[in-house]
Structure 1
Amino acid sequence: MIIVKEILERIDYIDFVGNDQLKINYVLPILELNNAENAISWCADKNEDILKTIKTNSLIIVSQNNNQTQSLKNYLIVENPRRTFQEILSVFFTKSRKPTISHSAIIDKTSKIGKDVFIGNNVVIEENCIIGNNTTIQHNTTILRDTIIGNNVTIGCNNTIGGIGFGYEKNKNGDFELIPHIGNVVIKNNVDIGNNTCIDRAVLGSTILEDNVKVDNLVHIAHGVKVGRNSVVIANAMVAGSVNIGENSWIAPSSSILNKRDVGNNALVGMGAVVTKHVEDNTIVAGNPSKFIRHIND
């Protein structure tokens, strides 16, 4: 339980109307807010008509452009309701894991583990890995040799980081033989990786995820890929070998990027797109094969 006054002391806001001693016991979606008293939620401007139906004694976060607050008992006006809601969840409702290393984890003695790290059940960390401070590696994830992971990284369950990529060459008899992958994976600071995702080591050099990259569940990132700072790769996306993704770009669900293609800065690859050509900065592409839709700033 928290009191509205405690929220007001911790966040930036434009105005507050209501009872600052209201107790908050629940966090609910706006459509479920009438199911409980003393809850908190947020409302996007496009959904403002929903507020006409709200009868509960709860706190609702809205923007200064919202025109349907007349009937609300308690509301908080902020610049960006969703961002403020995220901040409140992080500060007041999220339980951080206690730093610990599970007894069932297998960590090679040549690997270096930072401070305040959580390593879950059945995690495997092979030789010569580096794990930074305040990093979380959840259950059943495997970190293969020579992987470097920065600070404040979160890696979910059942991932394989540093596996051998799918790179083959035919021998003189015409049979495929695996090309040795002697590179590694480098995951920099503040990266989040979901569950059941594979990130392969480079043939030479490194597969790199720059600071603040966010990777969803069931993503495949192949050997030698580079993902720029603050970019997002979402569920079921396939990023083939040696792709370069710029900064602040968005790779939508179930999209595929052909090997050795570049996706520029601030670009958006649409849902289910198949990228066969380079994607320029500040553009949206979609379709199979993907085609230019428009510039981001249009």
Structure 2
Amino acid sequence: MLIDETVLERATGLKAPAPFVCHGFALATQPAAAQSLAFLDDAQFLSAVADNAGIAVVLTTPALKEAVLGTGRVAIVTDDPRHDFYQTLNVAGREHATQRPTFIDPTAVIHPRATISGCNVHIGPRCIIEPGAVILPDVTMGAECIIRANAVVGTEGYEYKRTSRGLLPVFHDGSVVLGDRVEVGGNSCLDKGFHFRHTQLGNDTKVDNLVHIAHGVHTGQRCLIVAHAMVAGSVTLGNDVWVGPGAMISNGLTVGDGASISLGAVVTKSVPAGARVSGNFAVPHEKLLRHVKSISAE
């Protein structure tokens, strides 16, 4: 993807002070590909911009211009960097979208009442798609995946930005990528991500019924995600993670290899490898048990 001053002006009406070329978009707090466009409207994220080597050009406010220049980046000043960044992403994403015919391996078993987009889907060998399942564009499946009845894979991610010009819906130009032997339970929903962070489920990951996997979620291998769990945007799960029934994991967190999220837990900070957390808000499981015992004894 190429973003230059003409794309920026076409999307927002904003005139850059000089020509520039970027090859993608990035958020300050996430790893960025080389020569990316980002935005900064809050000084607390200045250090993240400075430390993110992939960011080359930053949309920013007049008050933060000099600070951005001090990081060695190109600064483009606007009254609403957030709006102009996402509006440019919307325009560039749609302009660069391509369509390719859907490929379904001849060994895959597709129920006649399943719905599969005619473009931008790849279904690998021996996959099974059950009745009522919907596979939308920009979905890739490895071998032997199972999509249970009424699951939806590849929905538009839920992303609205509050800007000075009102709510701005954000176009998702990424995809959903399922490894080998991934299972998605009935009535579960997997949102697609952005080109800089696709939604990815690792080999042998099993998703139960009525689970929501938001945009940009990455899982390792052999993760087990149980019914009614909600994994918010840009969460990273390591290998062999257990997410119990009704658990919620907040945006952008990391859950380490072999960690366990107990049923109903509300996770608001990252979880180390091998840890087990419980409660609302989630704390180490043994700590919660000690607390419950202490108040039960009163």
Q: Does 1:92 align with 2:113?
A: no
Alignment of 1:1-298 (within 5 A): 3-11=4-12, 18-19=17-18, 22=19, 24=21, 26-27=23-24, 41-42=37-38, 44=40, 45=43, 46-47=45-46, 59-68=57-66, 75-77=76-78, 79=80, 85=85, 88-89=88-89, 91-92=91-92, 95-102=96-103, 104=105, 106-111=107-112, 112-120=114-122, 122-126=124-128, 128-132=130-134, 134-144=136-146, 146-150=148-152, 152-153=154-155, 154-162=175-183, 184-188=185-189, 190-191=191-192, 193-200=199-206, 202=208, 207-210=209-212, 212=214, 214-222=216-224, 224-228=226-230, 230=232, 232-236=234-238, 238-240=240-242, 242-246=244-248, 248=250, 251-254=253-256, 256-259=259-262, 261-264=263-266, 267-272=268-273, 274-278=275-279, 280=280, 283=281, 285=283
Aligned partner of residue 154 in structure 2, secondary structure = coil
Q: Name the aligned partner's letter for residue 92 of structure 1.
A: A
1:11-38 Cα offsets, whole Å, 9 max, x none, are: 49xx76614xx353645989xxxxx9xx
Aligned-CA RMSD value: 4.5
Larger radius of gyration: 1
Amino acid at match of 2:228: K
1:236 to partner: Cα distance: 0.6
Measured after TM superposition, the shift of residue 110 of structure 1 is 1.9
- Unmatched 5+ stretches in structure 2: 29-33, 51-55, 156-174, 194-198, 289-298
Q: Percent identity?
A: 4
| Alignment CA distance shift 1:3-1:86 (3 Å) | same
Native 8 Å contact 1:222 1:239 kept in 2: yes
Q: Which secondary structure does the structure 1 equivalent of 2:8 belong to?
A: helix
Distance 1:247 1:8, change over 3 A: farther
Count of matched residue pairs: 244
Cα 1:121–1:132 shift into 2, 3 Å: closer
Q: Contact (CA 8 Å) 1:229, 1:247: kept in 2 or not?
A: yes
The structure carrying a bigger helix percent of its residues is: 2
- For 1:24, the aligned partner's letter is V
Normalising by structure 1, what TM-score?
Answer: 0.59
State the one-letter code of the partner of 2:117: K
Secondary structure of the residue aligned to 1:152 is strand
TM-superposed deviation, 1:221: 3.8
Residue 18 of structure 1 aligns to a residue whose secondary structure is: coil
Q: Tell me: CA distance 1:212–1:247, structure 2 relative to 1, closer, same or farther (3 Å).
A: same
Change over 3 Å in CA distance of 1:130–1:41 after alignment to 2: same
| Partner secondary structure for residue 187 of structure 2 | strand
Between the aligned partners of 1:151 and 1:190, the Cα distance in structure 2 is 7
| Offset, 1:150 | 1.7
